Every structure is written in C-alpha cells, then in structure tokens.
Amino acid sequence: MIYIVDNYDSFTYNLYQLIGTLTDEPITVIKNDEMNAEELAALNPTGLVFSPGPGRPEDAGEMISEIKYFLGKVPILGVCLGHQAIAEIYGADVIHAPVLMHGRPSEVSLTEKSSLFDNCPNEFEAARYHSLVVDPKSMPNNLKVTAETSDGEIMAVGDEEKLVYGVQFHPESIMTDPAVGKQIVENYLAKI
C-alpha cells in the first residue's frame, strides 16, 4: 500500500487522484501527526509520498522522523514541503526564497540524469507554490540536484541508490505540463 503523508495541504488530494489514476496499488492518506515512524512501519508501506504543506519541514508533525526511518527501505517522493524535508535530512539548508512563488509557473530545466525524469523533456513548465527553497550553496554530495530554474533555484533532488526523490514544484497542478506531471509520478510508481 502507498501512503501519502498529508502536511495539511489542499494539494494532497490532487496528488492522491493523480497517483490513483496511474496505479492499482491501494493508497491511503494519513495526517503528518497521525502516527510515528514505527506505527507507520507496522503498516508495511510499499511507497511513501510526502505532500506539500505550510511552514517549515521541522514543524510538520512526524514527517522528518518518518523520512529518516524509511530512507533506503521504500521509495520516497517528497513534493514541495516534502522535498524541502528530504534536502534538510541530507544536510542542506532551507531558506526563504528570493521571490515568493504562490501559484506561478516557471520553466524548469533538468540538470542531472534522474530516473524520476525518464521520458520527460529537458525543459518544461511547472507550477510553484512556495516561500522557502533549498539553498544551493548547502547541498551535500550524496544528494543530487536534478532540476532547477534559470536563476538557479533547486527544483528537484534525488538519491538513486536509496530511491529518494524530491520536487519543489507541483506535478499534480494543472499549471504543470500535464504530460510531465503524469510521467514523473509514473516514474516514481515504477520503483514500487
């Protein structure tokens, strides 16, 4: 079963619907403060998706401890706040964005090979809803930057060995190129 950890965000059910159209695997949504990592482990998840949400990663219930617990055990996809949490766990800093991006599309460019972006174009438009970003100056060597904007803001990260992926943008949004959003989620689901 795939579990989506809801960081109290309205986009969570858009993610749920997109994933549901692409897999027959059962999907369950849980709130980020509903259970701890050990309780979640007892449910034997086959994949974990950490949703967007308000605030900072460290204030999002059990999300940080859940990602740490499941690193390298099940495929993980973090979206927006979930992406920022992944970067923090690997040692990067999350800082205020130079420009707030709430409901605005941006051109995203792939920068490194990542299986999350297999069959995606090298450049695509993606929806952004965030006021925090991962600081590119703080990126650790064991987490690759796989996509960014033209001004160097990190839009995706990944650790292929541990099957951990994060995207700052919203693949589930209607403002993201729909073929790309669908392909990203399909690529993640192929790892389960």
**% pLDDT > 90, the chain:** 95
Question: For the segment 29-70, what is each residue's pLDDT rounded down to a tens digit?
Answer: 999 999 999 999 999 999 999 999 999 999 999 999 999 999
Question: For the segment 62-99, what is each residue's pLDDT rounded down to a tens digit?
Answer: 999 999 999 999 999 999 999 999 999 999 999 999 88
Q: List the CATH code of the domain at 2-189.
A: 3.40.50.880
Query: CA-to-CA distance for 69 and 63, rounded, in angstroms?
Result: 10
Which is higher by pLDDT, 4 or 130?
4
Write out the catalytic residue numbers.
Answer: 80, 170, 172
The crossing angle, in degrees rounded to 10, of helices 63-70 and 81-90 is 60
Q: What is the mean pLDDT of residues 157-167?
A: 99
Q: What is the mean pLDDT of residues 19-29?
A: 98
Q: Give the pLDDT score at 101.
A: 82
Q: Domain map of the chain by residue range? A: 2-189
